[in-house]
Amino acid sequence: MSLMPPPSTTKSTPKPAHKVALQPGYGPLDWAKLKSSQEDLRQVEWQHPVPISPKMMSLHRGKANSVDDEIWCSFNGKVYNVTRYLPFHPGGEKEVLRVAGRDGTDLFMKTHAWVNLDYMLDECLIGFLVPNGRGVQDALIDDD
């Protein structure tokens, strides 16, 4: 007679989250301290959130073919400049870069549904996602 429960009642071990070792000074409390500082984490010329199209957002992927080194992405219709947040992400920069220049809502909800994104990135909010042609700077973008 075995003391083990029948196989039908055992639970499989959940897959552990992929985390990376963060550099000293880049933990969650360090991010909270930076957010509460007077540093401008938005890094844009406008003071209030503006309409931003997917076309405009796609120009900010932090790659060589981007207009700059900034990383913009959207979650739940809000556009954030996450450039300063990258080294603080527990899963590593590569995970955030998966949604650079585009909407990351689906991936975020699959992996971090319990995280209060509005609070975590509130100081990085730069705009609201709108259809192409309705963004504040769309007229300045070349249609290639």
Residue 67 belongs to some domain of the structure: yes
Residue 93 lies in a domain: yes
What is residue 89's predicted lDDT score, i.e. its pLDDT? Answer: 93
Q: Which tokens is 133 given?
A: 């042609």
Q: Is residue 1 part of a domain?
A: no
Res. 58 pLDDT band, cuts 50 70 90: very high
35: phi > 0 → left, psi -120 to 50 → alpha, else beta; which?
Answer: alpha
Structural domain for 76, as ranges: 43-140
pLDDT of residue 33: 97
Share of the chain above pLDDT 90, in %: 61
Residue 114 located in a structural domain = yes
What domain count does the chain have?
Answer: 1
Residues 78, 81: Cα–Cα separation, whole Å:
10
> In CATH, what number is assigned to the domain containing residue 67?
3.10.120.10
For residue 69, being part of any structural domain is answered with yes
In a domain, 15, yes or no: no
Check: CB of residue 126 under 8 Å from CB of residue 50.
yes
107 found inside a domain: yes
Residue whose token pair is 């007229």? 139
Residues 77-127 pLDDT 10s: 999 999 999 999 998 889 999 999 999 999 999 998 999 999 999 999 999
Query: Is 14's pLDDT higher than 90?
Result: no
- Partners of 80 in beta bridges: 73, 125
The residues with which 72 forms a beta bridge, in sequence order, are 81
11 part of a folded domain = no
Is pLDDT of 43 > 80?
yes
